Amino acid sequence: MKPLDFARLAREVMAHPRVAFNAWYLKKKGVQMGERVWISGWVDLVLAGESTLALGNDVFIPRTIQIRGNDKGRIIIGDGVSIDSWARLAVAHDATLKVGNRVGIGPYNIFNAFDDLTIGDETMFGPFVNINCADHGVKLGTPMREQMGTYAPVRIGRDCWLGALVVVLKGVIIGDGAVIGAGSVVTRDIPPYTIAAGVPAKVIRERE
């Protein structure tokens, strides 16, 4: 382990006390952190069971966010990622939530990875995007909250743009370079380099 540079640490604490405290706190909680991670907001963090969180280099978290890990779930955040106000990242079971490099996670985004959720490099999310890798059972005779869920992975390609209020359901693949219009509900795969919109989302044209 590299020895601590106490002089540098003291300078950082004096210049940006909140950032220095957040880095110390997250490392104390077992979070793996890269270089130049800037967290001036608060990370409401719970890592239960054997779950883990790893942050890459140059991650930027300016406002409060929520992260929840359960079971053997893994959250892996790439380099240069920004996570905006009140985003919620959750992982459970033996799933991996992997965010690529230079991804922009928007305010109030909810990513629920009960199965694997993979997001490619350079992808952008507008506010209030909801991605779920799970559904509740809906059979009659038993309250839905007591029924077993069903799970399937979600994969979003690189250089995608999902507009405000988009919902992505389990088992969906969104191809590289795709654009999803605001308010859409994505229930099936979207081909690369297309623009899709609607409820359910359908391709309306190709990107030129």
Residue linked to tokens 């069971």? 49
Identify which of 82, 128, 74 has the alpha carbon closest to the alpha carbon of residue 102. 82
- Count other C-beta atoms under 10 Å from residue 144's C-beta: 11
Instruction: Out of 11, 27, 29, 136, pick the active-site residue.
Output: 136
136 counts as catalytic: yes
Q: How many CA atoms lie within 13 A of 93 on its CB side?
A: 16
Give the burial class of 178: count Cβ atoms within 10 A of its Cβ; 0-12 exposed, 13-18 middle, 19 or more buried: buried
For 3-32, letters b (16+ CB in 10 Å) and e give: eeeeeeeeeeeeeeeebbebbeebeeeebe
Q: Is 73 helix (H, G, I), strand (E, B) or coil?
A: coil
Q: Which positions are annotated as active-site residues?
A: 136
